[in-house]
Structure 1
Amino acid sequence: TAGAAAAAALLAVALLWLLLAKPRGAPPTLGGLPLIGGALAFFGGPMKLMAKAHKAHGQVFTVNVLHKRITFLLGPEVSSHFYKAQDKLMSQKEVYEFNVPTFGRGVVFDVDHKKRAEQFRFFAETLKPHKLRTYVGMMVQEAEDYFGKFPDVCEVDINETLSELIIFTASRCLMGREIRETLFDTVYKYFHDLDNGMQPISVFFPYLPIEAHRKRDASRAKLAKIFSDVIQSRRARNADEPDVMQGFMNARYKNGEGMTDDQICGMLIAVLFAGQHTSSVTSTWTALFLAANKERCMAPLLEEQKAVVAEHGDELNYETLQQMDGLYRAIKEALRMHPPLIMLMRYAHERFDVTDKDGRTYTVPKGDICATSPSFSMRLEHVFEEPGKYDPDRFAPGREEDKKANFSFVGFGGGRHGCMGEVFAFLQVKTVLAYMMRNFEFELVNKGEFPEPNYDAMVVGPRTEGGKCMVRMRRRKLL
């Protein structure tokens, strides 16, 4: 048919472009069938692809995925330009536009860099210390209410348990009292549809007419109506609530304009997407590592909790959480071993040179999608000692392995687009885990068995097959 012929012609042109646009000195290309070989390897699992290509080519290589060329930059030595370059040189917008159907129009990746920077400023305003102090109180209350319903002895899937608690705390701090107290179940269902609408194919074809995308679009519209009703109710009552929604309602661009109700909804969806999954998997991995290493890793943290209580009393608040350096390192090490995102991406608006640790210099072409991998880079043996071992003390004073080179630790990204919610996330995970340690003993049900990471998921949590995430909890008071 004419359509098939046109499609074939377009593919041929794309292949020719890939071959001709590659400049002299470009990174080596992973071999395979023309056009589809890289795609098969990529969709077969990015971690496997990176391991194979890194062994063959080193830290810098290119994979042709359908009509796009993706150049990987693995390790701190080759990541500086990726993280530090201005948006006019290395941009997020082109590679993350697949989020637009989920977040909505007029926000984040649907606007230019200048407007996006203002929207990020709105979020930054909601993360100032006096706001964070208020959020911690909400988090503690949610933890008390949630764990208060547990029997004295129980066995739970810690992944499900902490995912549920994290969404409770996130919804209370971000979306507000009304959503958390009266509309949570409905909103959670719609968020679940948005979540399921983020398929691997969505990255390349976000508007493909598949069932997951249809549910995504319908739920996005329903969320917009729910949030708009809450916003209008607050305005009618002249309410001023202590949450992120209120911060977005009060925010103004430099020209004096505010966001529309739909844009506020989009910003809240974006913030929840950025934080909820990442915090839930990070809290889960940390709890699993501590349960599996009770003497070596958990025991010192229990002593730290006793010391904090002895000096500051037993109230969990913003100030006491700042004293928990050992817990901070335990969370950071879980993030190093299992960061939530396999890859971060940018679009190269100009060619640039990059030199690997062995002194080889490559020219990355203009128009390439550039990718780095926190998951892979933070497991490199020349960056971290015994990278497969859970060892929070690698970040302790005197060792500080993450300080040996810039961008060694990239659990929250880095540079110009490092995660704005890092402080909020650490407070959230610290609060949940500190409460658990103070009120429960917990251990793996199946000792000696530890879950593997689920690299098939968009956000990398543990595989739960075989009960490997089951934890036995026994109520106690630490002091």
Structure 2
Amino acid sequence: MTSAVGRMTGTIRERVPTLTALPLPRAVDRRILAKRWPVRELAAPPAGSGLEPVLGDEGPPLIGHTLDFMRYGVDYALRRIELYGPVFWSGAFGRRIVTLASPEATQIALVNKDKAFSQEGWRFFIERFFHRGLMLLDFGEHHMHRRIMQEAFTRDRLVNYVGQMGPTLRAGIADWESNPAPRLYWSLKQLTLDVATRVFMNMRSGPEAHAVNRAFVDTVRAATAVVRLPVPGGRWAAGLHGRKVLESYFARNLPAKRAAPGDDLFSALCEATTEDGERFTDADVINHMIFLMMAAHDTSTITSAAAAYYLARYPEWQERAREESLRLGDDIPDIEAVESLRTLDLVIKEALRLVAPVPSLSRMTVRDTEVLGRYIPEGTLVGVSPTANHFDARYWTDPHTFDPERFADDRREDKSHRYAWLPFGGGAHKCIGLHFGTLEVKLLLHEMLRAYRWTVPRDYTVRWDYVSLPVPVDGLPVRLHRR
């Protein structure tokens, strides 16, 4: 066993930061991550296969490493690579979960040439709350649903969506003036929820919008509940209730959307028809709306929060971005104007690298397979790790450093490997709304830059909590200065 560990990790140690190099917040964190657990094989490879076993450990009794990743995120992932190499397993959520933590390993799973990796992995976490959302569908069925849904994200549709976002974002950001020291993450979360309800459903603020937004928040948080039972007051129970609220809302409003569609996404899904005449059923529309609301508003909140944080930490980049925004004038920009904001492109891409909105992409093996010579049996829960890929020193210069210029045309480090940078996933399941999300974040930051300068204390460093998706543990306190 010791020799196997040596073979699998010998080369990786040369390119992964040692534990002492990781930017951990406190010495106690170093001690927790340094703790060693008995190393075990996931499963013995078939005789004569020439494959190596996947190595890993269970972690603490009962909870495994569930809380370790939630608490330490990137640092935890890099520590596991340092111990076991880019393919390892960990005990978490009552299961043994294999992690693929390099661009090369990621490519095998996401290209999925042999169709050994299924979306069943996502179903383990979110099926009860996002039943038959696009991300949970496989193979031919996924392809058909994606073809239909693409009609809701055409260029003409995006033009309309951006036109609807602008006034909501400008008004919402102007309202921040009453609180010059907000917890920015929560302000952004409310703002992106308002955009989602406006653009997705043509729904105005009010009690019903508040109930719908609350239901979305509960369904998202339930997916990573440690206690996965409907205990009263627990996350799982709140998520199940939230799902019922959302189903009821969309079912009530769907007939009117079918009869008199508008420019919102709900209408677009009701109308979407391929050249072959394929359309969504009512149940499909409801399932996809619930999923898309989750996928859109949470990832936009995380990305805008991360980008805003780095713009506060690096004011020279904030001023550079502001100069571009001010050159657009006072009108709310259209899609072409938003796309012209090159500095924000660089900043957002770097923020997506440093804080991947979806830190792990779940899969399940539907047959015995291998990744980089490691044997993974059928029925194994697998996590593909953008979090690790984005810090791989073979492909990124000083990967822990904020450096938006790495995405400039003369460097393009994101092109160093096809799967070195994958904030939107990859392969057949690459995020269908990536252009929508990027436009929303750029427009949001543009409006912030016009209205305020914002700062954080010089010695402040944000810490991200991965209990569900990345959230700053303190809400990201900033100081807003009205321009």
Q: Which of 30, 44, 47 does residue 68 from structure 2 map onto?
A: 44
Aligned partner of 1:62 in structure 2 is: 89
Aligned partner of 2:432 in structure 1 is: 420
Aligned partner of 1:115 in structure 2 is: 141
Q: Which of 178, 184, 192 does residue 217 from structure 2 map onto?
A: 192
1:372 Cα deviation from its structure 2 partner = 2.0
The 3 A distance-change label for structure 1 pair 254 and 220 is: farther
Q: In structure 1, list runs of 5 or more residues that go unmatched.
A: 1-15, 356-360
Superposition pairs of residues 29-108 of structure 1, within 5 angstroms: 29-31=55-57, 40-45=64-69, 47=73, 49-63=76-90, 68-86=95-113, 88-104=115-131, 107-108=133-134
Superposition pairs of residues 220-231 of structure 1, within 5 angstroms: 220-231=243-254
Check whether the contact 1:178–1:230 (CA below 8 A) recurs between aligned residues. Answer: no
Q: Which of 384, 388, 409 does residue 372 from structure 1 map onto?
A: 384
Does residue 147 (structure 1) correspond to residue 173 (structure 2)? The answer is: yes
- Of all paired residues, the percent bearing the same amino acid is 24
Aligned partner of 2:478 in structure 1 is: 471
Check whether the contact 1:329–1:393 (CA below 8 A) recurs between aligned residues. Answer: yes
Check whether the contact 1:107–1:119 (CA below 8 A) recurs between aligned residues. Answer: no
**Aligned partner of 2:389: which letter?**
S
The 3 A distance-change label for structure 1 pair 107 and 291 is: closer
Aligned partner of 2:151 in structure 1 is: 125
Q: Which of 337, 349, 355 does residue 338 from structure 1 map onto?
A: 355
Aligned partner of 2:463 in structure 1 is: 452
SS at match of 2:182: strand
The 3 A distance-change label for structure 1 pair 261 and 401 is: same
Of the structure 1 ranges 242-251 and 93-102, higher mean CA displacement relative to structure 2 is found in 93-102
Once residues 135 and 398 of structure 1 are traced to their aligned partners in structure 2, the CA distance between those partners, rounded to angstroms, is 32
Residue correspondences, number: 437
Of the structure 1 ranges 262-271 and 59-68, higher mean CA displacement relative to structure 2 is found in 59-68
The 3 A distance-change label for structure 1 pair 66 and 264 is: closer
1:159 Cα deviation from its structure 2 partner = 0.8
1:19 Cα deviation from its structure 2 partner = 4.5
1:304 Cα deviation from its structure 2 partner = 2.3
Once residues 395 and 471 of structure 1 are traced to their aligned partners in structure 2, the CA distance between those partners, rounded to angstroms, is 27
Check whether the contact 1:341–1:458 (CA below 8 A) recurs between aligned residues. Answer: no
Q: Which of 391, 394, 411 does residue 399 from structure 1 map onto?
A: 411
Once residues 132 and 344 of structure 1 are traced to their aligned partners in structure 2, the CA distance between those partners, rounded to angstroms, is 26
Cα distance per residue 1:135-189 (max 9 Å; x no partner)? 1111111012212334378222111111111111122111x22465673112122
SS at match of 2:359: coil
1:81 Cα deviation from its structure 2 partner = 0.9
1:63 Cα deviation from its structure 2 partner = 3.2
Superposition RMSD on alpha carbons, in Å? Answer: 2.9
Q: In structure 2, list runs of 5 or more residues that go unmatched.
A: 1-39
Of the structure 1 ranges 429-438 and 50-59, higher mean CA displacement relative to structure 2 is found in 50-59
The 3 A distance-change label for structure 1 pair 59 and 213 is: closer
Once residues 400 and 41 of structure 2 are traced to their aligned partners in structure 1, the CA distance between those partners, rounded to angstroms, is 41
Of the structure 1 ranges 249-258 and 278-287, higher mean CA displacement relative to structure 2 is found in 249-258
SS at match of 2:65: helix
SS at match of 2:128: helix
TM-score (structure 1 length as normaliser): 0.82
Once residues 66 and 442 of structure 1 are traced to their aligned partners in structure 2, the CA distance between those partners, rounded to angstroms, is 39
Q: Which of 334, 347, 365 does residue 317 from structure 1 map onto?
A: 334
Check whether the contact 1:118–1:253 (CA below 8 A) recurs between aligned residues. Answer: no
Check whether the contact 2:304–2:441 (CA below 8 A) recurs between aligned residues. Answer: yes
Aligned partner of 1:216 in structure 2 is: 239
TM-score (structure 2 length as normaliser): 0.82
Aligned partner of 1:13 in structure 2 is: none
Once residues 20 and 66 of structure 1 are traced to their aligned partners in structure 2, the CA distance between those partners, rounded to angstroms, is 23
The 3 A distance-change label for structure 1 pair 226 and 87 is: farther
Once residues 408 and 137 of structure 2 are traced to their aligned partners in structure 1, the CA distance between those partners, rounded to angstroms, is 41
1:353 Cα deviation from its structure 2 partner = 4.1
Of the structure 1 ranges 256-265 and 420-429, higher mean CA displacement relative to structure 2 is found in 256-265
Check whether the contact 2:166–2:443 (CA below 8 A) recurs between aligned residues. Answer: yes
Aligned partner of 2:324 in structure 1 is: 304
Once residues 215 and 414 of structure 1 are traced to their aligned partners in structure 2, the CA distance between those partners, rounded to angstroms, is 31
